[in-house]
């Protein structure tokens, strides 16, 4: 065992003395040392229920003959960090989490890991660490939140609170109604109720084989989730004994399966950042174009929030990810999973319990999957749109640019009524380097939707979007403005065309004018010049790479 480095031999007397100080027994010293890495936090709803799950995982580890050591990593709630300075830290926290896990696990020569996670950047950060450290590992996602309730209507965080801001500004909601909605939308623990980034990444984690079947959709408040936690703890010990490592699971074919299931669900566009970053840690390259290639061949079969009708609880009761796998049995690549059963075995034993929530392929909601990659003179290295959350009449749009150099400037104009039908909002210098941190633009996109403008206004950015964004919103524009991408020289009033079916994003000015503008363009001063974000800005690469950090 790897832990023999810290517990065997005469030269390890001091090490054993320190381990005995933790309360471990001599019998425990002979067992595999399993790290239980928890992202419990009182301030993140998706993580407040993790204390119970930690106990279940510990019991599972003990029952299988391992000894658990728990340590924590921090998390950021994207919803609370949204729309202000805090969002600069969200994406960069992904790399901090991976670095912290690497540091603690390798410093203490631990044998295996159970990764307890849930929300947006924490799950990919933990998977990056698993691929990098490559010791036997299993992921437990803490589960979705139940839907809220208001006047016999179900509520979700994004569709019913962020969009409520625009509805209130438009005069569609009273003060009392707004107050009732905000206290009712999130009734308890769990990740936000739709197919936003946290739940999308939970589904991807299960689809690539890194969590037990059923883990992604088992509700945070359910005993099923506690049973999965217990079994995951026990399974971690078995993975150590059989020496099954993350890179034995997370191969190129597994990521292809994960992207396919993501496209079928219509998940968050943030997977185009996270899947390549996780794969990169496993020594695998996932180009942005692969998402588009798979999406073109994968029908979208679940009508999930934010663009659709259904909540995560509906997907759970319709059969969850195993049921989705069963729909795509002939398209999947048979791969091993941490649970011991192969993808085909899981798909073959699954049942679809609701044909409306998980539709058959010949009755798909859209013939293509959730994400489209657009290129053109405005995005030479690509950009991303969640096409299944765009209405048919907005898949092609041409508008006059309203240009803003920050999210705050755009938000001020939107709330002041300065954006009108036919406008195309441009938010730049919000990319990985320019932000820094590639902030999510949920506040402007949700406010536009809440004001009833999502059918007449588009938005493009080198920043990114929450999984809750809907409407004609194109992000991840690469190269970003701060690196001299064409977005940097867009001027107020320029004509821009979005063509999702044609996969085009184009600035409608001639090449000579573009060259003329670049001749006088200079990058602005960095917004943040000290601390972690300043270091991150110097190290981070473009969005089309997954915003991975430079190693040279």
Residues annotated as catalytic (active site), given as ranges: 466
Residue 500 tokens read as: 């999702």
Candidates 308, 266, 315; CA nearest to 291 is: 266
Describe the strand order of the beta sheet including 112-117 as a list of residue ranges: 67-72, 33-38, 112-117, 137-141
Candidates 540, 390, 500, 370; CA nearest to 456 is: 390
Beta-carbon contacts of 183 under 8 Å, excluding residues fewer than 6 positions away, are none
Beta carbons of 249 and 211 less than 8 angstroms apart: no
Please tell me whether the peptide bond between 306 and the residue prior to it is cis, using omega within 30 degrees of 0: yes
Residue 26 tokens read as: 């001599």
Residue 488 tokens read as: 């940097």
Distance from C-alpha of 319 to C-alpha of 321, rounded to nearest angstrom: 7
Please tell me whether the peptide bond between 436 and the residue prior to it is cis, using omega within 30 degrees of 0: yes
Tell me the torsion sign for CA atoms 411, 412, 417, 420: negative
Could you write out the DSSP letters of every residue in 273-315?
A: HHHHHHHHHTT----HHHHHHHHHTS-B---BTTTSSB-HHHH
Residue 372 tokens read as: 């489209």
């Amino acid at each position: 065992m790897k832990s023999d480095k810290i517990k065997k031999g005469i030269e390890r007397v001091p090490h054993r003395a320190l381990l005995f100080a933790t309360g471990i027994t001599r019998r425990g010293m002979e067992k595999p040392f399993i790290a239980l890495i928890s992202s419990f936090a009182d301030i993140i709803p998706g993580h407040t229920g993790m204390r119970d799950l930690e106990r279940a995982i510990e019991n599972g580890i003990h029952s299988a003959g391992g000894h658990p050591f728990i340590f924590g990593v921090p998390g950021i709630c994207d919803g609370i960090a949204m729309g202000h300075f805090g969002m600069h830290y969200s994406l960069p926290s992904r790399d901090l989490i991976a670095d912290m896990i690497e540091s603690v696990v390798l410093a203490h020569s631990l044998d295996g890991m159970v990764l307890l996670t849930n929300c947006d950047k924490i799950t990919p950060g933990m998977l990056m660490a698993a691929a990098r450290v490559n010791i036997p590992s299993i992921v437990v996602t803490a589960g979705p939140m139940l839907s809220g309730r208001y006047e016999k209507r179900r509520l979700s965080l994004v569709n019913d609170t962020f969009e409520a801001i625009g509805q209130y500004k438009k005069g569609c909601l009273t003060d009392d109604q707004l107050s009732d909605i905000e206290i009712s939308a999130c009734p308890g623990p769990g990740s936000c109720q739709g197919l936003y980034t946290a739940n999308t990444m939970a589904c991807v984690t299960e689809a690539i084989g890194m969590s037990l079947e059923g883990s992604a959709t088992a509700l945070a408040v359910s005993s099923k989730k506690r049973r999965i936690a217990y079994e995951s703890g026990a399974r971690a010990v078995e993975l150590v004994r059989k020496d099954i490592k993350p890179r034995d699971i997370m191969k190129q074919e597994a990521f292809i399966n994960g992207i396919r299931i993501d496209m079928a669900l219509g998940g968050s566009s943030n997977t185009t950042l996270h899947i390549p970053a996780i794969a990169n840690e496993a020594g695998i390259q996932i180009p942005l174009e692969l998402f588009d290639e798979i999406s073109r061949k994968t029908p979208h079969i679940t009508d999930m929030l934010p663009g659709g009708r259904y909540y995560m609880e509906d997907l759970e009761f319709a059969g969850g990810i195993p049921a989705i796998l069963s729909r795509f049995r002939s398209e999947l690549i048979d791969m091993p999973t941490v649970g011991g059963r192969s993808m085909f075995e899981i798909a073959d034993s699954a049942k679809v319990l609701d044909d409306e929530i998980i539709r058959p392929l010949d009755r798909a909601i859209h013939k293509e999957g959730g994400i489209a990659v657009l290129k053109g003179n405005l995005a030479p290295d690509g950009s991303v749109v969640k096409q299944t959350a765009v209405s048919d009449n907005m898949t092609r749009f041409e508008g006059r640019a309203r240009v803003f150099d920050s999210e705050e400037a755009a938000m001020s104009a939107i709330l002041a009524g300065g954006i009108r039908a036919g406008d195309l909002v441009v938010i730049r210098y919000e990319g990985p380097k320019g932000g820094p941190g590639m902030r999510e633009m949920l506040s402007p996109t949700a406010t536009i939707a809440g004001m009833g403008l999502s059918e007449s206004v588009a938005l493009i950015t080198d920043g990114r979007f929450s999984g809750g964004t809907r409407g004609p919103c194109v992000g991840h524009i690469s190269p970003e403005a701060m690196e001299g991408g064409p977005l940097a020289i867009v001027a107020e009033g320029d004509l821009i065309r979005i063509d999702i079916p044609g996969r085009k994003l184009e600035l409608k000015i001639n090449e000579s004018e573009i060259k003329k503008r670049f001749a006088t363009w200079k990058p602005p001063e960095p917004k943040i010049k000290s601390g972690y974000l300043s270091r991150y800005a110097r190290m981070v690469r473009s969005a089309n790479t997954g915003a991975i950090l430079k190693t040279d």
